[in-house]
Amino acid sequence: MPRRSPPLETEPAGGGSVRPRRLRRLASLRDLVAETGLTPRQLVAPLFVGERPSEAPEGLPALGRRDVAGTVREVERLRDRGVRAVLLFGVPRHKDPLGRGAWDPNGPVPRAIRAIKGQLPETTVLADVCLCEYTDHGHCGVVSGGSVDNDATLPLLGRAARTYAEAGADLVAPSAMMDHQVAAVRRALDAGGHPGIGILAYGAKFASSFYGPFREAAQSSPAFGDRRGYQMDGRNPTEALRELRLDAEEGADLLMVKPALPYLDVIAAARVQFDRPIAAYQVSGEYAMIKAAAARGWVDEASAVRESLGAIRRAGATVILSYFASELGPELPGGVG
């Protein structure tokens, strides 16, 4: 029997009954059948708080530093755009080898938390728990013998977390990538009378080339060496899932993958394996790449932002931390999918 030629486009298989394009004709129809989406309420805006404001790096407006009053104004502006959660990073005036400013109740982050919760109590406030912004050497923990001492760092992270909880933070986010940091923070919170404060664990935080603009904004570049001895190796997705599992077992309420776009596979695997909300951090380098390409006319910024955030959401992220959160308008719900 002679073989039949495949049908032409003008002669659809099944007599024309299967035409996926029928559901793409109108924007409202595409929105109606969209499988994934993102609203401003699923975004967290990272903010830098210091003793005094400073200009953002060129072309990166979301990386500017604000004082406490300016931070409150920004949180109010975000609220009006539908973004109701912020993650605070502190940039102190003075630094020391132990990062004592991280648990100073009069430091920029605790003061900002009190001001935000006092004026905008419906805002969800997250506080980053790490020492890199506060140490004079720029590493995420106590340095001893030329390397970071994991166990000596843990109680300091606990002190910082407790300070932020006492100021009114809703969630604390240990990001130092010290083994057992979640357990140490949980113990400190519970012992301090804060069992209701949740933990967003930077469970899979990879040693990445995409952190550069953040380190400039936070003034947290290491004075020597790098952080590959304690941050995740990007070649090891199985190890990343193990790290996430350990954090879940230690009491993490949310689990985070950072950066987002280079590790969509880890986000997707985490979504399948864990019964906790999965967060993903679209980091400063990812933000800067889109900004730089848009400034040169190589991409349309709004479209690129929607597509990148949509990819992170589609991979399985429940929550997305992104510097674009401070720049997106209320039209976001119909634009990401």
Active-site positions read 205, 258
* Cβ atoms < 10 Å from Cβ of 319: 20
184: phi then psi, degrees, rounded to nearest 5: -65, -40
Q: What are the DSSP calls for 12-75, one per residue?
A: -GGGGT--GGGGGSSHHHHHHT-S----GGGEEEEEEEESS-BPPPTT-GGG-EE-HHHHHHHH
For residue 80, give the nearest of 325, 335, 337 by alpha carbon: 325
For residue 242, give the nearest of 265, 268, 269 by alpha carbon: 269
With a CB cutoff of 8 Å and minimum separation 6, the contacts of 21 are none
d(CA 164, CA 129): 9
d(CA 225, CA 327): 34
